[in-house]
Structure formats: structure tokens, C-alpha cells
Structure 1
């Protein structure tokens, strides 16, 4: 397994997952409350792993059958990343809001919590774009080393969700401040535009 490609997969997955969204807010909230944290983190990480594997395996086969789809998706993926990076840059320059992961009335049942987590994951179109399309497209750049890329991406997903869920108590005082999110958004901008450049330049 190529360590460099493994690291590329890990960092790419982290850069896509770390963006502020409903799923991450849900994980953070559950972590702050100490409510079914293991189940929530595991549900998110396993869902991401399934979608990442689907993207890497299926996108390569589709590209082989339809050679034109690879350059089209690379350009489309790069365009999305440029737009996403620009949005993050705007938030970094002018954002004033902190993530509100406040406490609810009380702990919900395990089944209800997992169902909510699944809905936030599988009913979110951005999840498919990030995992199946973007990671699937990027993986085509590593012919012969996709296992390393996939392993890195899956590892990144597990690392992020478990760190967010169990590290929530430590993260809360930091990300309650708007400046922390602005710094994070600036870093996301750099990563997104770097990936877009690599996609366009091959």
C-alpha cells in the first residue's frame, strides 16, 4: 500500500467531510449531550465507507465503459470545488456566526437517534456528490493504487466522526467562537481549491 496515496485519500476525505453541515452539527450535538455517541459515530462512518467504496469501484467501471465521463466529471467536480471554496472564503472573510449545537430537552431513544442520523446522511445529496462523485472521480487519478486511496478515505471518515463525537466537549468552547469557524473555512478554501487544481491539471 502506497503511504502517500493513503494520506491523499485520508486528507481528501477529511477536507470534504469537515465542511459545516447538518450531519456534523448532529454528531457534535450528540457528543455534547453524551447521547448514543458510539451509535451515531459508527452510523455516519459506516455510511460514508459504503458510499466511498461504491464511488471508487463503480465510477472506475463507468469510466471504462464511457471514456468521456471522466473528463466531464473532473471538470464538473473541479467547478463545484471552486464554488464551494469561494463560499467558504466568503464565510471566512465575513462570517460572524458560531455553530449552535445546543442541548435538547433530553436524550432520545437509540432507534430514533440512529434513524435521524441515517436520514441526515442518506437523504443529503451533498453526501453523494462528495463520496460517490468527487472521491470516485479523484480515485481515477490513482490507477493501480485505489485500494490505498479508498483505505485512506475510509480512515479519514472514521477519524473525523469519532473525533467530532467524542471530542465535542473539548471542541465546544473553541468552536463556540465565530473566529474559529472563520479559520476553519479559510483552511477548507485552500484544500478545496488545491483539489480542484489537481483535477483540472490531471
Structure 2
């Protein structure tokens, strides 16, 4: 039987391995972190959402997700449309010649817009349910009585990652002071979002 410490360490490692890879949510947190816009609420939403999903997976929701492939497919299509749309907007920003800080497309987002965008990027991503709920739930429950320690480790990994990404990105502000650098960042975000959106549809 696994000890609580071993289960928590496994949860931390497994959780980080799933969320560190670049994705739509991470790209958005990075962009907002660099702009230093509403970073606290966005980091809190990402970490809290992961905590809810991890707890749901450990609590048995993974079996429900596994039994509802149609629902996952519908979410995939909705998420794909959202991601491609967001990616096209980022591509438009990258294409525009005017200064990043002066262009209307780059004006500071309102807290409401930032929060809704973050929620959509989190909860409309079907991989959230397949990875965080199904995979982490399955792995976590393999630790028997220590499964909630596994969950605590995974949640801790999420908090560490999103806090580091969001608040640490602000240090890149000097590097991205030039409009050209912002165009490169928005170009990377555009490619990431559109690629993920198309991949969702092809796998749906």
C-alpha cells in the first residue's frame, strides 16, 4: 500500500506532466501574465478549476465521462470553434502593423472578458475531462486509501504551475516592449490555438 507522502508526490508529478505542455489555457495565462492583466483572478480560476476536476475524477466522475462519448464529442466541437476563433483574432493582432499598445485589438481586457475567456478555454476543452478527470482519476484511485493524497499532490502541482506561469511571465515585459516581439508572441498563440482547435475536430 502506498504511503500518503508517496501518493502525494506521484500526484504532483503526474499533474505537472499533464499541464506543463503548451496548450490553449497555458498560452492565455502566459499572454495575460506578460501583459500583467487580471493575473490573480486568472491564476485562481485555472487552479480552482483543476482542483474541482481532479476531485471529481478521484470521486468517480471519470467513469461517467467514459460512458458519455457523445457529450465529449459535442464539447470538442464547441471548444474547437472557440479555439479557432480566438486563434484567428490572435493572428489578426500579429498581422496588424500598428503598435501593439495603441491598437484597439490589443486594448486591455475588462475583468469580465478575461474571466469568461479563461473559463471558456478551461471548461470547453475536452482534454480537461479526458486527462484531468479520467486519467488522473484512474491513476489516483490506483493508490487505494491514499487516493486523496494523490489528488492533493496533483492540485498542488496545478497551483505551482499556474502561479509560476502567470506571475512569472510579467518578468518578460521588458523583452516584449517592442511591437515586433508582441507580434511574434501573438503569432505563436494563433498557431497554437488554431492547431489545437483543428486537432479537436479531427479526433472528435
Q: If the length of structure 1 is used for normalisation, what is the TM-score?
A: 0.62
| Alpha-carbon distance, 1:58 to partner | 1.2
Q: 2:162 matched to which residue of 1?
A: 161
Q: 2:31 matched to which residue of 1?
A: 29
CA contact (8 A) 1:41 1:161 kept: yes
| Alpha-carbon distance, 1:132 to partner | 0.7
CA contact (8 A) 2:140 2:148 kept: no
Q: 1:109 matched to which residue of 2?
A: 110
Q: Match of 2:142, SS?
A: coil
| Alpha-carbon distance, 1:59 to partner | 4.7
CA contact (8 A) 2:34 2:172 kept: no
* Match of residue 53, structure 1, among 52, 55, 68: 55
> 2:4 and 2:171 mapped to 1: Cα distance?
33
> 1:59 and 1:42 mapped to 2: Cα distance?
23
Judged with a 3 Å threshold, the aligned counterparts in structure 2 of structure 1 residues 166 and 118 are, in CA distance, closer, same or farther, namely same
> 1:169 and 1:40 mapped to 2: Cα distance?
14
Aligned residues: CA RMSD: 2.5
CA contact (8 A) 2:57 2:136 kept: yes
Q: Which segment drifts farther, 51-60 or 121-130? A: 51-60
Per-residue CA distance 1:127-158 (angstroms, 9 max, x = gap): 11111111011012100001110100111111
CA contact (8 A) 2:34 2:171 kept: no
> 2:46 and 2:158 mapped to 1: Cα distance?
8
Q: 1:118 matched to which residue of 2?
A: 119
Structure 2: which 5+ residue stretches go unaligned?
A: 67-93, 95-99, 176-180, 182-204
Q: 1:10 matched to which residue of 2?
A: 12
> 1:127 and 1:160 mapped to 2: Cα distance?
16
Q: If the length of structure 2 is used for normalisation, what is the TM-score?
A: 0.62
Over alpha carbons, which structure has the higher Rg? 2
